[in-house]
Amino acid sequence: MNATPQIELSGGSNKLDPAVEILIERIGKRARNLYETHQLLCTEAVLVTLNDALDGGLTKTQAIALSAPFCVALGESGCMCGALSGAVIACGLFLGNRQPYRHRRQIRESARRLHDEFKSYNGATCCSVLTRKVKHDKSAHFQHCADVTARTAEIAARMILKQRPELASRSNRKFLSGRNSIIGGAFMRLFHRLSH
């Protein structure tokens, strides 16, 4: 395993095997659910979903600890979108876990490609720019961020699975099929706060 393969994200040739495309869609839906039920913020939802879905090796506590500082645009600074931050962390986790010192250049290239794909799809990477049109409407803002969270998890999953296709066979389908309601999400938040 010498070099991480180069990939093209944009365009029609981006599609993977139909079963993998279904997996990617499920990853997006699960990230959205974790965000929409207020269990996790954008960065956390992307990293936790990708870590749990593709067996990244982090505990949920570790994934949240790594991603929490990046939530709400780098700690509410309004800078880089939290979902994008979570996707970059996940790419480092999955693409850098095999000889990271040897593959640092490829890992950086993957981050740049992820950035470029995100920007191409959303028009910007800065949270304050992405939410400018919805910042005065709390409901629209929340839904916009849920959409960005889901789509970004899918973009990262596609990049990861193109470079590490063996992860698809190890996917955690039970985690991906889980769905919570708003009330279920509230109980999960309460449980986590009381148990940790």
Helical ranges in 96-181 per DSSP H: 104-122, 127-130, 138-163, 173-177
**pLDDT tens digits, one per residue of 64-122:** 999 999 988 777 777 899 999 999 999 999 988 767 677 788 888 999 999 999 999 99
Question: Are residues 39 and 81 in contact, defined by beta-carbon separation less than 8 angstroms?
Answer: no
All residues at 6 or more sequence positions from 10 whose CB lies less than 8 Å from its CB, including other chains:
117, 120
What is the reported pLDDT for 97? 73
**pLDDT tens digits, one per residue of 117-176:** 999 999 999 998 999 999 899 999 999 999 999 999 999 999 999 999 999 999 999 999
Main-chain phi, psi angles of 131, to 5 degrees: -105, 5
Instruction: Tally Cβ neighbours within 10 Å of residue 1.
Output: 7
CA distance 94 to 90: 6
CA distance 20 to 154: 11
What is the reported pLDDT for 2? 33
* pLDDT of residue 193 exceeding 90: no
